Amino acid sequence: SQQGEEDPQALSIQEGENATMNCSYKTSINNLQWYRQNSGRGLVHLILIRSNEREKHSGRLRVTLDTSKKSSSLLITASRAADTASYFCATARGGGAQKLVFGQGTRLTINP
Amino acid sequence: GAGVSQSPSNKVTEKGKDVELRCDPISGHTALYWYRQSLGQGLEFLIYFQGNSAPDKSGLPSDRFSAERTGGSVSTLTIQRTQQEDSAVYLCASSRTGGDYGYTFGSGTRLTVV
């Protein structure tokens, strides 16, 4: 069943603007992760936020997590054309090996 | 190796034939995962391995799909009697365990059943 659901499904902005993508999920989680995918191939891990964390930063990325609302957001500041990709959130419910459940993704287009 | 390696990168097969997809994870990663992604869609979980055992096979779509992992390393996903609906990109990932870790994905195998 679908766990993470991203919103919006597609986002188009101008280079230099900030991009915000949201993710909602249904069950309790151990951590939530964001991935980027270029050209429909392998995904690249961007950032992981644990259930007891509320905000995390990595370079131009800022992730927030609200476990009471079962939602997360990914903010990319000062966007660049190279940020054009699909972005997926994924949730882990814990255990020795983390089976991640992925959402449908947000397609982000940065216009030069 | 330095990354997760999948082969072949592309596979075109005739309906009804069997195919084998290979995944070579990062050395030392005890967990290995198979997902598939249809065009423009999210990732659908298939199976994961902890060492050589598969605690969760719940995502395998039918009994035509099977997977094995040997020596805690290389994994093979086999699809028997392929159907057109099996066409997708099959993605393999590996990770460390015992804590909160992200996945490292391979580049995938694009399977086309004609």
Domain segments of chain B: what residues? 5-113
pLDDT of A64 above 70: yes
- Taking only the tens place, the pLDDT of each residue in A3-17 is 568 888 999 999 999
Write out residues 57-76 of B within 8 Å (CB-CB) of A.
none
- Determine the Cα–Cα distance for residues A1 and A104; give it in Å rounded to an integer: 12
Contacts of A27 (CB under 8 A, 6+ apart): A3, A91, A93
Quick one: average pLDDT of B43-59? Answer: 90
Neighbours of A62 (CB within 10 A): 17
Which residue on chain B is closest to A31 by alpha carbon?
Answer: B100
Quick one: average pLDDT of A72-89? Answer: 96
From the list A43, A44, A99, which residue is nearest B56 (CB)?
Answer: A99
Domain segments of chain A: what residues? 5-111
Closest approach of chain B CAs to the CA of A35, in angstroms?
9
In this complex, do B105 and A92 lie within 8 Å of one another by their Cβ atoms? no
- Where does residue B20 fall: left (phi above 0), alpha (psi -120 to 50 degrees), or beta otherwise? beta
CB A50 within 8 Å of CB A67 = no
- Determine the Cα–Cα distance for residues A43 and A32; give it in Å rounded to an integer: 15
By C-alpha distance, which of B14, B17, B4 is closest to B64?
Answer: B17
From the list A48, A88, A99, which residue is nearest B100 (CB)?
Answer: A48
- Taking only the tens place, the pLDDT of each residue in B61-107 is 999 999 999 888 999 999 999 999 999 999 999 999 877 889 999 99
* CATH label, A5-111, candidates 2.60.40.10, 1.10.8.60, 3.10.20.30, 1.20.210.10: 2.60.40.10
List CB contacts (< 8 A) between B100 and chain A: 30-31, 48, 50, 92, 98
- Taking only the tens place, the pLDDT of each residue in B22-47 is 999 999 999 999 999 998 788 999 99
Which is higher by pLDDT, B57 or A73?
A73
Residue-level pLDDT at A41: 77
To probe the interface with A, which of B9, B21, B103 has the most A CB atoms within 10 Å? B103
- Architecture of the structural domain at B5-113: Sandwich (2.60)
- Give the position of tokens 């086309």: B112
